[in-house]
């Protein structure tokens, strides 16, 4: 072998050995099999690391860190935030700090894509700091990283709360454990089963049951005697999976909804100002039986807008303005003048439509779908559960009737990079799509759901399809109606329905 050849080989060997060593070191640095067991941290004999750990914890928690990390919360936005409030207030009762979970797709959970403040205002947690402490996901992650860097990652146990033994929800993985940011080595999962019941009296003891669960306390039902396990209380992060239907925390402060983020509320204010005066209509058309009802319902809706809605809006205007007037003498003549003025001005309010029918389409596609007995490949319903095959001719005829007789506005999530096809479509003349920029809403349907809900609450009136005649029964409708009831102003909440045969008989007689 030539000498320079030998040098080349030696160099190569040095590089290979060096790389292997480096990779090995890099790998073993956060190798979970080298970690202390979570139960051994208080017997740690590495005094240097004990001190470092203490300093990190003091920086983030002012003392030893104890967190509740909501990994999975059952149900969608309004209900899910009610459940999260239970966990936050419970954290206070067991002296732990709740981590504000991420959000996305109308859900709440630590491993979702967007920060808590994408949907909500953190002012809620600050305002409630007498009841519980919180930490942002960002700070929590920093704490995890600093602890991982000294090879004493945060210790964690999985805590599951179920409604019954059989129907376990499909739970996501713990993304912090799979990134080796949490040490869960050898710790058993713990599960609490609490029968769900709509009867609040039967739920009275659930607060104590969940508290015991988070404290690792086992209580004898008959004697009331209790023992505390050696593990749960010392665990730094309780990774909580939460599946319930009803609240259990007794503190009335837990009932107040979390305010939505400044970004979504200011967007709602701006759009509401633009649309005003307007009425919001929630019309869920998926699987209305028989679908042929929808056409008659569309006529009823348009009638409502032509006759009752303007009258009700005018009445509302008069009562609210006359309440502000102080001058007694002029009151009556003023009212007459007002009424005259409003009657002259009577006109259809704008319709803000919340629907599962497609929001973005070409007018020609609807004509084509109607010509083909409802079949179309071009139109996509605005709800994931609503398959395009379930759009019937009646859906198209109903919505077409509406946009031929009313000014309709719908919101729509703009794509990151708008495709050429969608911008080329020409919607019907009276169908206005309000696009929500990608920068703001990140194409998240949950964000849009909150915006729509806020717009429905700001509307001059609110209508929904009569359940099981004109529309599907919907908890979303009920939420809007309940929230509108809390509004301090005159309020119209109503259903549109097919004409009742009995009313027809009355007229005939
Ligand atoms: C929580 O901390 C407070 C104040 O330090 C204490 O009084 C209370 O007993 C603690 N509660 C639990 C469940 O440890
Ligand atoms: C919970 O429900 C199951 C089945 O419905 C029943 O067998 C059990 O006794 C209930 N447990 C409690 C504590 O009510
Ligand atoms: C109600 O009053 C507002 C402001 O005074 C006006 O813009 C609106 O047109 C009125 N609505 C009706 C239905 O008269
Ligand atoms: C039209 O579509 C409906 C379902 O939407 C179906 O029941 C009916 O048979 C179809 N009619 C024809 C003529 O294909
Ligand atoms: C738009 O709506 C108005 C009622 O607001 C109606 O008179 C008009 O015919 C509609 N235009 C079209 C093109 O459907």
219 or 424, higher pLDDT: 219
**Which ligand has its closest atom nearest to the C-alpha of 279?**
3
Atom of ligand 1 nearest to the CA of 95: 1
d(CA 83, ligand 2 centre) in Å: 22
Distance from the alpha carbon of residue 195 to the mean position of ligand 2, in angstroms:
6
The mean per-residue pLDDT over the stretch 129-137 comes to 98
- Helices 293-306 and 308-324: angle between axes, nearest 10 degrees: 40
Band the pLDDT of 341: cuts 50, 70, 90: low
3-state SS string for 222-283: CCCCEEECCCHHHCCEEEEEECCCCCCCCCHHHHCCCCECHHHHHHHHHHHHHHCCEEEEEE
For the chain, the average pLDDT equals: 86
* DSSP SS3 for 316: helix
Domains of the chain: 34-255 (3.40.50), 262-323+330-508 (no CATH)
Q: What is the pLDDT of residues 213-248, one digit of tens each?
A: 999 999 888 888 999 888 888 999 999 999 999 999
Q: At 60, is the secondary structure helix, strand, or coil?
A: helix
Chain centre distance of CA 143: 27
Best residue among 317, 321, 351, 460 to mutate for probing ligand 3's pocket (most ligand atoms within 8 Å of CB) is 317
Ligand 5 centroid, distance to 371 Cα (angstroms)? 22
Q: Which atom of ligand 1 is nearest to the CA of 215?
A: 13
Mean pLDDT of 172-180: 94
CA of 283 to the centre of ligand 5 (A): 20
pLDDT the model gives residue 507? 43
Top-confidence residue, 456 or 40: 456
User: Does 267 contact ligand 3 (Cβ within 6 A)?
Assistant: no
The share of the chain scoring above pLDDT 90, in percent, equals 61
DSSP code for 403? H
Please indicate whether residue 166 or residue 11 has the higher confidence score (pLDDT). Answer: 166
Q: Give 301-324 pLDDT, tens digit per residue.
A: 999 988 877 777 666 665 655 555
Q: Which residues pair with 283 in a beta bridge?
A: 355
> CA 189, CA 96: separation in Å to the nearest integer?
19
Ligand having the closest approach to the CA of 310: 3
Q: What is the residue whose two structure tokens read 């030539």? A: 2
Q: Is the CB of 465 under 6 A from ligand 3?
A: no
User: Contact 91/83 with Cβ under 8 angstroms?
Assistant: no
| 373 CB near ligand 4 (under 6 Å) | yes
**For ligand 5, what atom is nearest to the CA of residue 348?**
5
Q: Residue 133 pLDDT more than 60? A: yes
Per-residue pLDDT, 486? 73
Least confident window among 23-37, 284-298, 343-357: 23-37
Higher pLDDT, 24 or 363: 363
19 lines ligand 5 (CB under 6 A): no
What is the Å distance from ligand 1's center to 93 Cα? 8
Does this model's pTM top 0.85? My answer is no
> What number of other Cβ atoms are within 10 A of residue 7's Cβ?
10
| Structure confidence at residue 334 (pLDDT) | 65
The ligand with the least distance to the CA atom of 308 is 3
**Ligand lying closest to the C-alpha of residue 349:** 3
Per-residue confidence (pLDDT) for residue 509, from 0 to 100: 36
**pLDDT at residue 343 above 60?**
no
Residue 285's pLDDT band, with cuts at 50, 70 and 90, is very high
For residue 392, the ligand 4 atom closest to its alpha carbon is: 5
Q: Quick check: 260 pLDDT over 50? A: yes
Closest Cα to atom 11, ligand 5: which residue?
A: 404
The half-sphere exposure of 148 on its side-chain side, counting CA atoms within 13 A, is: 19
* CA-proximal residue: ligand 1, atom 6 (nearest): 95
Ligand 4 contact, 397 CB (< 6 A): no
- State the ligand closest to the CA atom of 350: 5
pLDDT band at 325; cut points 50, 70, 90 = very low
């Amino acid at each position: 072998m030539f000498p320079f050849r030998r040098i080349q080989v030696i160099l190569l060997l040095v590089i290979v050995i060096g790389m292997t060593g480096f990779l090995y070191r890099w790998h073993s640095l956060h190798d979970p099999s080298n970690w202390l067991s979570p139960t051994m941290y208080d017997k740690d004999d590495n005094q240097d690391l004990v001190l470092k750990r203490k300093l990190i914890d003091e920086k983030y928690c002012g003392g030893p860190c104890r967190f509740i990390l909501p990994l999975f919360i059952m149900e969608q936005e309004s209900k899910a935030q009610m459940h999260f409030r239970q966990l936050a207030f419970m954290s206070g009762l067991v002296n732990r700090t709740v981590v504000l979970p991420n959000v996305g797709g109308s859900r709440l959970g630590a491993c979702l894509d967007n920060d808590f403040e994408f949907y909500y205002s953190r002012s809620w947690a600050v305002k409630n700091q007498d009841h519980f402490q919180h930490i942002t996901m960002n700070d929590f992650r920093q704490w995890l990283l600093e602890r991982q860097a000294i090879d004493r990652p945060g210790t964690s146990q999985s805590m599951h709360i179920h409604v019954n033994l059989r129907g376990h929800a499909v739970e996501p993985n713990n993304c912090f454990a799979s990134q080796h940011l949490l040490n869960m080595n050898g710790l058993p999962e713990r599960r609490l089963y609490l029968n769900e019941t709509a009867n609040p009296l039967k739920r009275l003891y659930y607060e104590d049951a969940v508290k015991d669960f988070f404290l690792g306390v086992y209580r004898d039902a008959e004697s009331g005697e209790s023992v505390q396990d050696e593990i749960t209380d010392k665990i730094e992060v309780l990774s909580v999976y939460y599946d319930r239907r009803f609240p259990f925390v007794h503190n009335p402060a837990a009932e107040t909804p979390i305010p939505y983020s400044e970004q979504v509320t200011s967007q709602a204010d701006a759009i509401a100002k633009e649309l005003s005066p307007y009425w919001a209509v929630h019309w869920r058309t998926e699987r209305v039986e028989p679908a042929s009802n929808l056409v008659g319902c569309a006529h009823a809706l348009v009638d409502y807008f032509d006759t009752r809605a303007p009258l009700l809006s005018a009445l509302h205007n008069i009562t609210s303005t006359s309440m502000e007037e102080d001058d007694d003498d002029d009151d009556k003549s003023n009212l007459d003048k007002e009424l005259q003025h409003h009657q002259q001005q009577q006109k259809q309010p704008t319709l803000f439509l919340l629907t599962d029918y497609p929001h973005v389409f070409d007018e020609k596609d609807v004509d084509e779908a109607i010509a083909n007995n409802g079949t179309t490949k071009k139109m996509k319903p605005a709800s994931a559960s609503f398959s395009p095959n379930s759009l019937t001719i009646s859906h198209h005829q109903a919505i077409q009737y509406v946009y031929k007789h009313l000014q309709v506005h719908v919101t729509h999530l703009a794509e990151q990079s708008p495709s050429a096809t969608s911008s080329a479509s020409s919607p019907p003349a009276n169908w206005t799509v309000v696009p929500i920029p990608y920068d703001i809403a990140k194409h998240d349907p949950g964000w849009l759901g909150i915006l729509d809900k806020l717009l429905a609450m700001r509307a001059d009136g609110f209508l929904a399809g009569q359940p099981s005649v004109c529309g599907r029964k919907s908890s979303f409708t009920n939420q809007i109606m309940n929230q509108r009831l809390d509004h301090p102003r005159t309020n119209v909440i109503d259903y549109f329905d097919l004409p009742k045969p009995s009313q027809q008989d009355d007229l005939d007689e």
